Structure 1
Amino acid sequence: MATTPKVLDGEPGGLSTLVRAALPVVPGLNQLPGVRKGSAADFTGLAFRREGVVAERPRVDAYAAVCGFPRKDVVPLTYPHMLAFPLHMAIMSDPGFPYPAIGMVHVENTITAHRAIGVGEVLDVVTEVGAARPHAKGVLLDFVTTVAAGTDIVWESTSTYLRRGRTVDGDAAVGLVITDPPSGGVEWRLPANLGRTYASVSGDANPIHLYPLTAKALGFPRQIAHGMWTKARSIAAIENRLPEAVTVEVAFKKPVFLPGTVAFAARQGDAGWTFALTSPKDGSPHLVGRTSTP
């Protein structure tokens, strides 16, 4: 690890986190000490950690219910992201991180589970981010998380965020490409309050997911579903056919407006599953993904 992680103490999240995330985009206030962001050119990395985090039964069950997973004695494949998300926000809200949290777009996510995590297990979670990578529309930042039980790493993820604007030197990466993803499939009708329901179990209360008014304030015609909900719900549809040790990669494409209807399709191949969440109207993709053996 290139950066010594800061310890995130106490119960993370809540209104104070949202305020810290929003202040750097408020003219005038964004120049105050403790709010003013550092130089992107000087940024080399930042890390935070949480120690002794418990995968508590009530929270796991509430998350599973919202995302379509069955109740089990092990956590859903995507659940550890809930434990890491406060670290994402701590990094984005830190004055040393040069980009405001508001406006960061989650474009890709990769999860590798090395084994199942039991409900009630005690875990240590670390998230770190390095220098930005070039992108045609700005820069990409990879938030890399490791979850350990004792000395064993049991779960890892990389969440890639796009920050639109000025880019950095280098060749832009192509990103996840899935040729001939499946289409059509079963349709899911998503309610208007899905973003608020998911926010209540995930802690991700970004205004773009909550109400038409708050979404419009940030440039969307109405609220949109969380990208990580679309990944979780897609995995829930095939999780009983996945091995315990598995890697799942997804790219988030067009937003899912709420209320709305999406179509889910999956196809098994020699290397694993490919799946997609699309618009039933025109087949345009909201999410494409694939699984493999780590």
Structure 2
Amino acid sequence: MTDRTRIELDRLPTAGSSYRRALLGALPLGGRRGGDTLPAVEFAVAGVTVDRTHLAEYDRVCGFRLTDEVPGTYPHVLGFPLALRLMTGAGFPLPLIGLVHVANRITVHRRIDAGETLDLVAYADGLRPHERGRQVDVVLLASVAGVPVWHGVSTYLRREPTPDGRAGRDHRDRPTPPPASAHWRVTPQTGTEYARVSGDHNPIHTSRLGARLFGFPRPIAHGMWSKARCLAALAGRLPAAYTVAVEFKAPVPLPATVGFHSTPDGAFALHDPRTGRPHLTGTLT
């Protein structure tokens, strides 16, 4: 296990300051990132509380019922500013601008009540080559009074030239999707609404111009909104403790209609009902 230096912050950083660092780093004179090692640090914030008004808005945007129980995806949003601070800090080898969120795994050790106070820790792990570039895991932990209650791992991909000199291409199988148990209309406002409650203001989700700069004809939904929306649909089947893992496939353009399907063994998926193209595949265990 890697020894990491813990940096204790007295409060959660603001997402805006992290995005400003990311944009500055993307400029020609902003300094280049690189290297094959991760910073041996972890950022920690103690005593984080849940704003019930914010939680209610998150529930509304993602389709959860309004309760005092924190949805399994909510600690990801709560700790996102800490993860951003890590990813825009000194020594992180991949620039934030252009990273693609390709997978996410969350383990809920027990139900979390909105009245509990959480201690959060974020660190990076597993920098490794990929056929399309390099990827890294950003780990976020939540505990209550020293006892772990939640564990999230977000995997990000940086597309880079492959050894043959070409950028790797996606290879996506297109199996015939099962009949959808539900169809959801994803509105153009989904990107801006989720950005407001999550703090993730990446312009590919909120701006047509920003989306076009990264090769998308129009804004796309946040991957973590898609995961949260699926988890909300599975709410009646969730035990007190579980792991939910997803892979983000094709982006969901805004607006769009998506098909949702789940099976008794815990598999679920989102797909384009017209083409069968998968947007997300997941498992609940």
Fold conserved between structures, TM > 0.5:
yes
Q: Cα–Cα, structure 1 residues 42 and 72, in superposed 2: closer, same or farther, change >3 Å?
A: closer
Partners of 2:63 and 2:206 in 1: CA distance: 20
1:130 to 101, 125, 130: 125
Check the 8 A contact 1:134/1:167 in 2, yes or no. no
Within 1, Cα distance between the matches of 2:191 and 2:200? 9
Indicate the residue corresponding to 2:233 in structure 1.
Answer: 237
CA contact (8 A) 1:134 1:140 kept: yes
Matched with 1:197 is 193
Q: Secondary structure at the match of 2:244?
A: strand
Extract unaligned runs of 5+ from structure 2: 164-172
Cα distance change, pair 4–183 in 1 and its aligned pair in 2 (3 A): farther
Please state if 1:61 is matched with 2:62.
no
Is the 1:183–1:283 Cα contact (8 Å) retained in structure 2?
no
What's the counterpart of residue 170 of structure 2?
A: none
Q: Which amino acid aligns with 1:161?
A: Y
Moved more, 81-90 or 256-265: 81-90
Shift of 1:183: 4.5
Partner of 1:286: 279
Select 2:205's aligned residue among 204, 209, 224. Answer: 209
Aligned to 2:215: 219
Match of 2:158 in 1: 163
Q: CA deviation at 1:16?
A: 2.3
Query: Judging changes above 3 Å, is the alpha-carbon distance between structure 1 residues 224 and 121 closer, same or farther for their aligned structure 2 residues?
Result: same
Cα distance between partner residues in 2 of 1:216 and 1:19: 20
- Cα offset, 1:167, TM superposition: 6.9
Residue from 246, 251, 255 that aligns with 2:251: 255
Deviation at 1:20, TM superposition (A): 0.9
Q: Distance in 1 between matches of 2:221 and 2:188?
A: 9
**Aligned 8 A contact 2:83 2:140 in 1:** no
Counterpart Cα distance in 1 of 2:87 and 2:25: 10
Q: How far apart in 2 are the matches of 1:108 and 1:14?
A: 21
Q: 1:245 to 1:181 in 2, by over 3 A?
A: farther
1:53–1:167 distance in 2 versus 1, CA, 3 Å = farther
CA distance in 1, matches of 2:157, 2:203: 18
Deviations 1:18-52 (A, max 9, x none): 21111111112x23xxxx53x41343543211211
TM-score (norm 1): 0.88
Query: What does the per-residue CA deviation read over 1:128-167, in whole Å, with 9 as the maximum and x for residues that have no partner?
Result: 1125112101111011111000111001011111111157
Query: CA RMSD, aligned part only?
Result: 2.0
**C-alpha displacement of 1:64:** 0.6
Structure 1 position 180, deviation (Å) = 9.0
Are the equivalent residues in 2 in contact too, given 1:182–1:267 (CA < 8 A)? Answer: no
Identity over aligned residues, as a percent?
45
For structure 1, the 5+ residue unaligned runs are: 169-176
Tell me, yes or no, if the aligned pair for 1:182 and 1:275 is still in contact at 8 Å: no
Contact 2:135–2:158 under 8 Å retained in 1: yes
Change beyond 3 A, Cα 1:42–1:152:
closer
Query: CA offsets per residue over residues 263-291 of structure 1, 9 Å max, x none?
Result: 1111112xxx1100000111110000011
